[in-house]
Chain A
Amino acid sequence: MTERKGAARRAREDDRQGNPKAGEEGKEKQMIVQFFFYLFAALLLISGLLVITLRNPVHAVLFLILAFFNGAGLFLLAGAEFLAMILLVVYVGAVLVLFLFIIMMLDIDFAELRAGFTRVLPLGLLVGGVLVAELVMVFLAWQPSPMAEKLRMAATPEGVNNTEALGRILYTDHVFFFQAAGMILLVAMIGAIVLSLHHRRDVKRQDVAKQVARRREEGVRLVDVKPGEGL
């Protein structure tokens, strides 16, 4: 893991260097990269669409997982293997599995939720239409500034891998953002506890300290039963 740059970027760099042999090789590579890009992108879009159209919520979550897998594939192609792995570990591994549990445990009648769907459909279409029109307008005016290009191509420094490079700036240049994000998570945690933890007095609770501090003398009593007398 000394130098990982991502296939796409390496192909681009080779291309730019104008090395004829590398160029030949680069073209081949680029074709493969493009093939996988479109494969991942298409699967991502299809599974995304299925997430919001499928009737069975469990299936929808499973397709969401597929969507994340493809997103991770796209990250890999862009040379961001750390983000790809984080996406898998955090989102697929933790968030969505939890989500699956929640959906299975909650008895939500999705048909009932959709009951008002046709009523608000015109409004939804209107808002969606406006957003799409804006997107088209924006897309037609696509003129990235020169600086944007430079920022996008910002290369991973030589000699370190992607994860380390991220770590280096995350804890130095961006420490403020990092800490602020940490505070947000703290608030989320406090919020979850405040809103859901309920101390009920009429319920018996396990007290680990008390259990550990318990001594033999308090727990066991030797009873000398005389023969023929019983207790």
Chain B
Amino acid sequence: MEHDGMSMWSTFAPALPEMVLAVISMGLLMLGVFFRHRTVELVNTLAVVGLAVVAVLVLMSGSGTVEAFGGVFVVDALARVMKLLVLFATAVAIIMSVQFLRWERIERFEYAVLMLLAALGMMVMISANGLIALYLGLELQSLALYVLAAMNRESGRSSEAGMKYFVLGALASGLMLYGASLIYGFAGATTYAAIAEALKGGENIGVIVGLVFLLAGLAFKISAVPFHMWTPDVYEGAPTPVTAFFSAAPKLAAMAVILRVLYEAFPGVSDQWRQVVVFMAIASMLLAAFAGVVQKNIKRLLAYSSIGHMGFALIGVAAGGPEGLRATVFYLIIYLLLTIGTFAIVIAMRRDGRAVEEIEDFAGLASTNPGMAFGLGAMMFALAGIPWLAGFFAKYFVLVAAIRADLVVLAIIGVLASVVAAFYYLRVVKVMYFDEPKGAVSAMPFELKLVATLSVVFALAYVIWPQPIVQMAQAAIRPLIQ
């Protein structure tokens, strides 16, 4: 095997964004280690710049499907769209962290580095075209996320969150590896294309058991019921910007992996996995709707909210076809943009130098901080799926896709769950607008205000110009429906 310069380059070129991100994160690590004093802000800024550079590289990676490293790594439209979203979510999470870390006195340069490494893991996951690359990417992002959850060492809750996430995450990884080993044992291959090829000879109980375990591991990452137990505790305990990051980027990456695995490696046994996905969708929506009602802490509430939203996104996966898949990707994009804005406001909720997380304490915010109350109210309406706000279209598309795919029961349960869920979203609005004021919260820092404003404008005005996101979702699913 001889490599001249050109062929070497063409081997590595598809993974250029990943390589650049890896080098940037290691460079920032060195920068932080050698110039320990007052480098946190510099590292944070450079991390955001680096993410932007990597996003440009992703955008410039051409079009069409390119495979690399012997077919274990693929860059296609799905990968490009999902990577851009992950990079965007990571950059926003870092921007939203700056002030919070200062408030909580946990400014450390490793924070941004770990965020970058988590994003790198997600990119590897998204581009994985086989089980080994998938596992490596998943583990890379998970390890970084465990550490980020436990970042606030002074806080018992943060350490508990990190520990819980770590132990349960390790269990999920174990389940996934067990499933992957069964799949490999029966299909004799680890790349998606080869697995699909091996399954053409008819279904096989070993592969299906393996697939179920694999799905269990991935369901843990998107916190779909029954693998959701960690979510409320980790969301509550982790530093709030980290929670914002958790509820945005890793879910997108894991969902991209689910789409790719189900539709590229296992289209032949879709009857079997559809049952699993339908069950997870129903269970997630219902549990989130009913458990969310009794929550008192806004972060726990948003945890259940994210469980429910993942249930809705899974409806599209179960429905399948161009319409269902597009609805799922569309749902994820809308969810990402809404959840970021919601967390921007939640991060900023502070009174007397301490975070305000109990919903009770938001009482009368409308009279003390009208801007924040309006923003959070708009986000709650949008997340609940009130018509003509952004969240409504997301739910509408998945439900329509479900009905077209003859999953009428699933669609009805979805509607009922969203009605129940609307209760807890609206309760937040009620507390802010109709309860006796408990005193003002401190003003929002500039960057949080910016993120929140953009997100609120998006939620309210999405209906005016809906095409770009629909087109983005349409482009993303093209590789899956051939």
- Partner-B contacts on A (CB < 8 A): 134, 137-138, 141-151, 172-177, 179-181, 183-184, 186-188, 190-191, 193-195, 198
Contact = CB atoms under 8 A, between A and B. Distances in A.
A195 B209 CA distance: 37
Contacts of B187: 145, 147-148
B49 interface: no
B64 interface: no
B186 interface: yes
B387 interface: no
A145 B198 contact: yes
Given A138-B206, A145-B186, A191 B147 contact: yes
A194 B205 contact: no
Contacts, number: 100
Interface in B12-50: 15, 22, 26, 29
B108 interface: yes
5 contacts: A147-B188, A151-B189, A176-B73, A177-B133, A186-B117
B73 A148 contact: no
B69 interface: yes
Nearest to B205: A141
B69 A176 contact: yes
B204 interface: yes
Contacts of A175: 69
A194 B108 contact: yes
Which A-B residue pairs are the 5 nearest by beta carbons?
A148-B188, A191-B147, A147-B188, A180-B136, A141-B205
Contacts of B26: 186
A141 B349 CA distance: 57
B110 A145 contact: no
Contacts of A147: 187-189, 194, 198
Interface size class of B (residues with CB under 8 A): 35 or more
A176 B72 contact: yes
Main secondary structure of the interface of B (DSSP, over half): helix
Contacts of A149: 188
A191 B22 CA distance: 16
A141 B206 contact: yes
B201 interface: yes
Nearest to A193: B110
B114 interface: yes
A172 B162 CA distance: 36
B133 A173 contact: no
Given A191-B143, A194-B108, A180 B133 contact: yes
Nearest to A152: B188
A181 B135 CA distance: 10
Interface string B62-75: 00000011101100
B112 to A, nearest CB: 12
Interface of B: 1, 15, 22, 26, 29, 68-70, 72-73, 108, 110, 113-114, 117, 120-121, 124, 132-133, 136-137, 139-140, 143-144, 146-147, 150-151, 153, 162, 182, 185-189, 194, 198, 201, 204-206, 209
Contacts of A180: 124, 133, 136-137, 140
Contacts of A194: 108, 110, 114, 147, 151
A191 to B, nearest CB: 4
A150 B120 CA distance: 34
Contacts of B201: 145
Given A137-B209, A138-B209, 10 more contacts: A138-B182, A173-B70, A176-B133, A183-B117, A183-B140, A187-B114, A190-B110, A190-B117, A191-B114, A194-B114
A187 B143 CA distance: 7
Contacts of A176: 15, 68-69, 72-73, 133
Q: Which of B108, B114, B186 has the most CB of A within 10 A?
A: B186
Contacts of B29: 190
A138 to B, nearest CB: 5
Contact of A138 (B22, B69, B73, B205): B205
A177 B18 CA distance: 13
Contacts of B68: 176
A179 B73 CA distance: 13
A177 B132 contact: yes
B196 to A, nearest CB: 12
A114 to B, nearest CB: 17
A188 B143 contact: yes
Given A143-B204, A144-B185, A181 B147 contact: no
